[in-house]
Amino acid sequence: MKTEQLVGHGWFPAAATDAASGPDSLFYFILIGSIIIFAGILYALIHFLIKYKRKSPNQLASGQLVHQPLLEISWTVIPFILVTIVFFWGYKDFLKMSIPPVDSMEVRVTGKKWLWQIDYPRYGVKTVGELVVPVNQPVKLVMSSEDVIHSFFIPNMRVKRDVIPNRYTRLWFEANRTGTFQVFCTEYCGDGHSQMLATLRVVSQEEFKDWLKAGSSGGDLPLPELGAKVYTKYACNTCHSLDGATSVGPTWKGLYGSNRPLTSGSAKADDNYLRESIVNPKAKIVAGYAPVMPAFAGLLSDREIDGVIEFIKAQK
Ligand code: CUA
């Protein structure tokens, strides 16, 4: 899947929401204002350095200014006005971005090392690493973490918020055009942090309805094909290779039926071993690997688990 070019014009990634104009122009207001003030200060500094340079070693300072009311008032009042503008400008957009519209579609986001689980509670659809939303529809994300602090960042929507264990945080956005956009985890959360990505796919209302239908039905794919789909859809591929390469987790090549050296003892990788490793991965840890895999209990249907096992069997 191709994601949209992240680079927009100027300093920002391309905007895909109307809400971007407020913070973007405030940023430029502060930036250009700072450049003008910096240039003015630099000019005055150099100008006075030259103008008041001591001409001879014995020259005394003379005619020192003690009070200059007009100057003092202006260097107090002008910055005050500027800071007030910045405050109200920012506060207005902050309020807008903090309060989701009442007709928002609610989506649950769960962060865990190192994937994003997305739930559509109203439709009974779950995904990993793929947030699909209709265009021109406010979307409210209710987010929490199962382990450490993560942060959900969609640059093109100008939203970012920490995802915290034992607490819900929320953010909302409304996309104004269709496309595929990158989502990042932007809070350092361990080895797989840089791989903790998701895609945001903004589609038309009709496409969204079709997508929901396809997602909730489960489909009647043959088991190995279903397993292959789960392998990418649920981001198993982030940590498990199919070609024998060592990654965060053991490769699936030649896994089925092999003898697994565990942190204590060993086990044979049969169907029950694989099922347990998917549903409750911390039960048995293969020697040399960290116990970092999230549990997929409740996330995969029984048929999907069967599919994954069949898919693993096919990796000889
Ligand atoms: Cu999750 Cu960084």
pLDDT tens digit string along 262-304?
988 888 888 889 889 998 898 889 988 888 888 888 778 777 8
Query: Which overall architecture, per CATH, does domain 223-313 show?
Result: Orthogonal Bundle (1.10)
Q: How far is CA 54 from CA 43, 46, 51, in A?
A: 19, 14, 9
243-254, pLDDT tens digit by residue? 988 888 899 998
- Domain 105-214 grouped into CATH 3.90.1150.10: no
pTM above 0.85, yes or no: no
Tell me: pLDDT of 211 over 60.
yes
Residue 286 per-residue DSSP state: B
Tell me: pLDDT of 37 over 70.
yes
Can you tell me whether residue 184 is helix, strand or coil?
strand
Query: Closest ligand 1 atom to the C-alpha of 149?
Result: 1
Q: What does the pLDDT read at residue 113?
A: 86
Query: Cα(4) to centroid of ligand 1, in Å?
Result: 22
Q: What does the pLDDT read at residue 129?
A: 86
As a whole number, mean pLDDT of residues 125-135 equals 89
Q: How far apart are CA 165 and CA 76, in angstroms?
A: 45
Residue 165 per-residue DSSP state: B
Average pLDDT, the chain: 87
More confident residue, 58 or 99: 99
Share of the chain above pLDDT 70, in %: 93
Share of the chain above pLDDT 90, in %: 40
Residue owning the nearest CA to atom 1 of ligand 1:
150
Angle (deg, nearest 10), helices 223-233 and 302-313: 100
Nearest in space to 130 (alpha carbons), one of 213, 55, 235, 219: 235
Query: Cα(118) to centroid of ligand 1, in Å?
Result: 15
Q: What does the pLDDT read at residue 4?
A: 56
Q: What does the pLDDT read at residue 77?
A: 95
As a whole number, mean pLDDT of residues 256-265 equals 88
Which range has the worst mean pLDDT, 40-49, 76-85, 164-173, 216-225? 216-225
- Checking 81-89 for CB contacts under 8 A at 24+ apart, the result is 82/33, 85/29, 86/26, 86/29, 86/30, 89/22, 89/26, 89/29
Q: How far apart are CA 211 and CA 240, in angstroms?
A: 27
Query: Cα(190) to centroid of ligand 1, in Å?
Result: 7
Q: How far apart are CA 134 and CA 207, in angstroms?
A: 8
Q: What does the pLDDT read at residue 145?
A: 93
Most confident of the ranges 12-21, 59-68, 163-172, 190-199? 163-172
Q: What does the pLDDT read at residue 203?
A: 93
Spans of all domains in the chain: 12-42+68-99, 105-214, 223-313
Tell me: pLDDT of 137 over 80.
yes
Can you tell me whether residue 118 is helix, strand or coil?
strand
Which residues, including other chains, have CB under 8 Å from residue 171's CB and lie 6 or more apart? Answer: 97, 140, 141, 143, 152, 159, 160, 161
Q: How far apart are CA 175 and CA 208, in angstroms?
A: 14
Query: Closest ligand 1 atom to the C-alpha of 185?
Result: 2
Query: Closest ligand 1 atom to the C-alpha of 190?
Result: 2
Tell me: pLDDT of 108 over 80.
yes
Query: Cα(191) to centroid of ligand 1, in Å?
Result: 9
As a whole number, mean pLDDT of residues 92-108 equals 91
Using the structure block, give the residue that is written with the tokens 């003898």.
Answer: 259
CB atoms within 10 A of CB 216: 13
**DSSP run (H or E) holding 217:** helix 205-217
Q: How far apart are CA 104 and CA 124, in angstroms?
A: 17
Backbone torsions φ then ψ of 204, nearest 5 degrees: -70, 165
Query: Cα(189) to centroid of ligand 1, in Å?
Result: 4
Q: What does the pLDDT read at residue 183?
A: 94
Query: Closest ligand 1 atom to the C-alpha of 187?
Result: 2
Q: What does the pLDDT read at residue 6?
A: 58
Query: Cα(31) to centroid of ligand 1, in Å?
Result: 30
In terms of Cβ atoms closer than 10 Å to its own Cβ (0-12, 13-18, 19+), residue 141 is buried
Q: Tell me the sheet residues that pair with 259.
A: 268
More confident residue, 214 or 132: 132
More confident residue, 163 or 65: 163
Query: Cα(117) to centroid of ligand 1, in Å?
Result: 13
Q: Tell me the sheet residues that pair with 139.
A: 105, 173
The strand ranges marked E within the chain are: 105-112, 115-120, 125-128, 130-134, 139-145, 150-154, 159-163, 169-173, 179-185, 198-203, 259-261, 266-268
pLDDT band (50, 70, 90) for residue 59: confident
Tell me: pLDDT of 219 over 60.
no
Q: How far apart are CA 140 and CA 136, in angstroms?
A: 13
Query: Closest ligand 1 atom to the C-alpha of 196?
Result: 1
Tell me: pLDDT of 134 over 90.
yes
More confident residue, 282 or 8: 282
Q: What does the pLDDT read at residue 90?
A: 93
As a whole number, mean pLDDT of residues 126-143 equals 91
Q: What does the pLDDT read at residue 1?
A: 43
- Identify whether the C-beta of residue 287 lies closer than 8 Å to the C-beta of residue 263: yes
Helices first, then strands: H and E counts in the chain:
6, 12
Residues with CB under 6 A from ligand 1: 111, 114, 150, 185, 187-189, 193, 196
Query: Closest ligand 1 atom to the C-alpha of 194?
Result: 2
Amino acid of residue 282:
K
